[in-house]
Amino acid sequence: MDKPERELHFKLMALTFKIRDFFAPRMNILKEVGIRPGFCVLDYGCGSGSYIADAAELVGDSGQIYALDIHPLAIESVRRIASRNHLANVETIQSDCATGLSDDSVDVVLLYDVFHKLDDPNSVLEELHRVLAPDGILSFSDHHLDEDEIVSGVTGSGLFELSKRGKKTYSFLCHN
């Protein structure tokens, strides 16, 4: 796919997500995770930024949001959301795996609708395990995978264990 096709694809995806978010607000999903004021949240594969404003609201001024994506348009979209909403606690990371964050520095990782597209899911899981605090949560959702694929895909590495299954997400804890 050449650059104009990728850009068109991204813009169509972003429009689809805006319609989805109108009918199914992302805050309802984030509340299931248990994000609290002061938390550090990494939205891994943030896409057009559907979760950014709501996550920033939940963590408050004392919290931090990192939005990571490989696509430059995703990074631009998140920056626009942060600017428009005056969110000083949102930082973007353009990467296909490495976050550049410190060990044990993140309270919650959002890994939503991206796992099925990863070229090297084990490397991503290793990076997420590294940055998650010992009591941190990997919140996972991917409507392209069934429950068995989700659980085996995340726990198969031996780095995570299933903690709970919510209505929309799976919560995994770091396996020590």
**pLDDT > 60? residue 21:** no
Domain limits at 113?
Answer: 3-174
- Structure confidence by residue, pLDDT tens digits, 42-62: 999 999 999 999 999 999 999
**pLDDT > 70? residue 16:** no
Domain count, the chain: 1
Q: Is the pTM of this model over 0.75?
A: yes
**pLDDT > 70? residue 66:** yes
CATH assignment at residue 132: 3.40.50.150
Q: By C-alpha distance, which of 5, 8, 55, 24 is closest to 143?
A: 24
The pLDDT score that the predictor gives to residue 71 is 92
